[in-house]
Amino acid sequence: MNVDAAVAAVAAIAGLCTGVFAMLAFRWSERDQAKPTRTSLHTDAVLPPGVDTVLSVLRSSAVVLDEADSVVKASSAAYALGLVRGGKLAVEPMMQMARDTRRDGEIRQVELDLPRRGTGRGEALAVSARVAPLGSRLVLLLVEDLTEARRIEAVRRDFVANVSHELKTPVGALSLLSEAVMDASDDPEAVTRFAGRMQNEATRLTSLVQELIDLSRVQNDDPLEDAEPVRVDELVAEAVDRCRQQAGAKQITMAAGGTADLSVWGNRGQLAAALGNLVENAVNYSPARTRVGIAARRVAAPGGDLIELSVTDQGIGISEKDRDRIFERFYRVDPARSRATGGTGLGLAIVKHVAASHGGEVTVWSAEGQGSTFTLRLPEAGAVRDRERPADLSAEGLDDEDRPYETFNDPLPAHPAPEVLP
């Protein structure tokens, strides 16, 4: 019995010691967890009160650095721009600015061009960086992305330069021609010749100003505010009538046809201007004694039926390198020919904006020496299909010599499907 009691006593003492050691280990673990670690020093707790909330609502990319140049806090935009990598500020000029500001407390600002992440084309990312002290130990870096603002400014600057150049040409010509008329006041033939050229330059200047107004209107106005069902045959007739004189002078046949009883939804004036520009370009860039065709048809689309208005010519065609740029403002495939025909380089830009604002698109197929096909796709006004209209789309009770256009089934060689521009 004495042996059993001794064993029990030893077991009790061993259990007590185990419990004491377990309690001490638990307390030790809690004390270690309560100690500040390297990671916990760089949490939001070290930021002054309210700073975290302010940084979360800023539109700029924000980075907070401590005295060791480690990132205490960085916004998601800072990571997206590639400013922060591996817990460090990855842009050396910004890092140097932060060090200088930490040393003397002065606010610094600079604009930098940074390489884009994930692109091998050398594209620059324009940013504006501003560094300021935040408390006694921290430095705040705010970075604003200026890339889009610079792009818009470049477009605006080029536009102003192009407008100035285009206006200067006819104005300068009018000035010289007026001097020539004064010098040739005693020569009726010279006066007549110079006066005719003055009229041409004045017409060109008027067209340029009007197209600038039209482009500004289609860019700034919402065409769907005054939208209405517009009959396609009326748009075609108006476009053909607009170009009938130029076509007649070059003996170009204008043919229209396709599916009858079609209507589109939108602003009538803008739609007429867009289709008129396409037809006018087709006439101006087509050789004499050729044909320009205008065809309309309905095509099925996931969001509802679309109306395709295709304008086909047998002109000089457009090279592949020019095809992606022809819808840019003031861009001309052949500047000399455009000047001769009175083109301003704004017609296709207007067509592009009208199509986009009406929920449609404009595409082009072209081959050099074979001609071009421009296709304008617009949403159909389905409720107007059943409207009563004349059976013949070509003319209503007009004599043959008075008809503005003729109907056709296949006026030109079939072209491949138009290529959609990016």
Per-residue model confidence as pLDDT tens digits over 255-300: 888 888 899 988 888 899 899 999 998 998 889 999 999 999 999 8
Residue bearing tokens 């491949």:
416
DSSP-derived pairing of the beta strands 108-115 and 71-74: unpaired
CB 64 within 8 A of CB 140: yes
Q: Note the pLDDT of residue 24.
A: 59
Q: Cα separation of 121 and 17, whole Å?
A: 71
Confidence of residue 370 (pLDDT cuts 50, 70, 90): confident
The one-letter amino acid code at 228 reads E
Q: Note the pLDDT of residue 311.
A: 94
Burial string for 46-68 (b: 16+ CB within 10 Å, else e) reads: bbeeebeeebeeeebbbbbbbee
Q: Taking Cα atoms as reference points, which of 254, 275, 279 lies closest to residue 264?
A: 275
Q: Note the pLDDT of residue 290.
A: 92
Q: Note the pLDDT of residue 400.
A: 37
Q: State the CB neighbour count (10 A cutoff) for residue 146.
A: 16
Q: Cα separation of 364 and 348, whole Å?
A: 11
- 95-149 pLDDT per residue, tens: 899 999 988 889 999 888 887 765 445 567 888 899 999 877 888 999 988 888 8
Q: Cα separation of 328 and 159, whole Å?
A: 10
Q: Cα separation of 386 and 396, whole Å?
A: 19
The three-state secondary structure class of 378 is: strand
| Average pLDDT of every residue of the chain | 76
